[in-house]
Amino acid sequence: MKLTKFYCILFLVYAFSGTSQTPGLSPLSKISVLTCGPGTELYSTFGHSAFRVEDPSLGIDVVYNYGVFDFESGHFYWNFAKGRLNYTLARQSFVRFLDEYKYENRWVVEQTLNISLVERNTLFKFLETNYLPENRVYQYDFFYNNCSTKIWDVLQESFNKKLVFDDKYLDHQYTFRQLIHQNLTTNSWSAFGIDLALGSVIDRTATPEEHLFLPNYVMRQLTTSKFENHSLALKKRVLYQSIPAKTSNNFLITPLFFLLVFMGLTLTITYFDYKNKTRRRWFDFTLFFITGAAGLVIFFLWFMTDHIWTVANYNILWAFPLNIVIAFYMLQKSTFPAFLVKFIGALLVMMLSTIILWMLKVQIFSPLTIPIFILLSIRYAFLVGHEKILSLN
């Protein structure tokens, strides 16, 4: 009993002293990978992965969690927008970690690593060294450097060639966009926003290794990968089973509902404008201003940030940045300048190009853009025809 207390005190001294030295784990120790189910918030939609180090003889039971925002770096939201978001490795008690996931009603599965005591100490030392203040912060990347990819990266850095990756663990390989949508509802604001913000670069098929940005695929990979000549992980163990929750399917708050309403409004206004040979300037201003503002966001993410997944985004063909300038021309009572009719005609051509790119699978657009394409095409065609009629008169 005295010996256990001594080791426990020794561990605490080393763990919180900021030194790179760590106590040795005992034969009773184990290291496992925790996989957690999705949450209700967007940042938790894709689940979570972490390491657990447990040694009852030393009184150790902690979680090493690579999925924590680094708020201390300052300018959090600006850095997020610019693609310079820092995450940090956190260490917390397992009991507290599990309680948080129970509170959020998110399932937790444990896979104990089938490695020797020497190898457990190697991994433990790596995690402790990585937790030092000068090492714990890393630059986040949703696909290449997150809490999930860190699991395999850490194992690979610790054991190198002893690990044997099974690239046949997948029944089917998906594109990055398809992988994202496995965790999202298509008719949701989060899915719609992601499809608008991310470019055609995510429409290529991900390699088996690149699937590991999602915790579920890390969990699957651990069951098939080898450590030298044996399985890397033991049988999965459920630590907490989430309780099925009632889902609220209120169509009235979905993006499709608002887009259908806007499309109906566009059709109605355009019909009466055509019938009465009028043009509602406020409506055209709103339409061009919204699409222009969306285009500016796409332009910003493509050309003015460090994001590599928001480039080559052909949503910019229909959400065109210059529309925000043209919006103010829409307020004038007189006929359009000649260039403006040609500009609107070019917008129709660009929208047709968007559909062709979609058919050729250069970029997969959100199905929710279909009502947008319809309402924009109808209004643009009306504006071109309306100005031609006015010019003849």
Q: Is the domain of 166 the same as that of 17? A: yes
Q: Is the domain of 261 the same as that of 215? A: no
Which of 244, 221, 222, 246 has the alpha carbon at shortest distance from 233?
222
The pair of structure tokens assigned to 280 is 């509602």
Type and span of the H or E element at 327: helix 323-329
The pTM is what? 0.88
The pair of structure tokens assigned to 248 is 């609220």
Q: Is the domain of 138 the same as that of 266? A: no
Q: Are 187 and 121 in contact (CB under 8 A)?
A: no
CA dist 108 and 361 (Å) reads 37
pLDDT at 6: 35
CA dist 237 and 218 (Å) reads 15
Q: 212 lies in a domain?
A: yes
Q: CB within 8 A of 142, min separation 6: which ones? A: 213, 309
Q: CB within 8 A of 24, min separation 6: which ones? A: 121
Q: Is the domain of 274 the same as that of 222? A: no
CA dist 280 and 142 (Å) reads 43
Which of 105, 91, 100 has the alpha carbon at shortest distance from 37?
105
Q: 191 lies in a domain?
A: no
pLDDT at 76: 63
Q: Is the domain of 136 the same as that of 225? A: yes
Q: Is the domain of 28 the same as that of 116? A: yes
pLDDT at 36: 97
Q: 193 lies in a domain?
A: no
Domain stop point among 240, 263, 282: 240
CA dist 7 and 9 (Å) reads 5
pLDDT at 138: 93
Q: Is the domain of 144 the same as that of 276? A: no
CA dist 300 and 306 (Å) reads 10
Q: 189 lies in a domain?
A: no
Type and span of the H or E element at 215: helix 215-224
Q: Is the domain of 336 the same as that of 220? A: no
Q: Is the domain of 56 the same as that of 83? A: yes
* Paired residues of 238 in beta bridges: 109
Q: Is the domain of 97 the same as that of 116? A: yes
Tell me, what CATH number does 26's domain have? 3.90.1720
Domain that holds residue 271: 251-392
Q: 56 lies in a domain?
A: yes
CA dist 193 and 28 (Å) reads 48
- Residue 340 phi, psi dihedral angles, 5° rounding: -70, -35
Q: Is the domain of 235 the same as that of 283? A: no
pLDDT at 21: 58
pLDDT at 72: 64
Domain count across the chain: 2
Q: 180 lies in a domain?
A: no
Q: CB within 8 A of 91, min separation 6: which ones? A: 15, 62, 63, 64, 65, 131
Q: Is the domain of 258 the same as that of 226? A: no
Domain stop point among 240, 263, 286: 240
Low-confidence ranges of the chain (pLDDT < 70): 1-22, 70-77, 80-81, 387-393
Which of 147, 133, 173, 130 has the alpha carbon at shortest distance from 48?
147
**DSSP per-residue codes, 97-153:** HHHHHHHTT--EEEEEB---HHHHHHHHHHHHHHTSTTTSEEE-BTTTBSTTHHHHH
Q: Are 126 and 157 in contact (CB under 8 A)?
A: yes
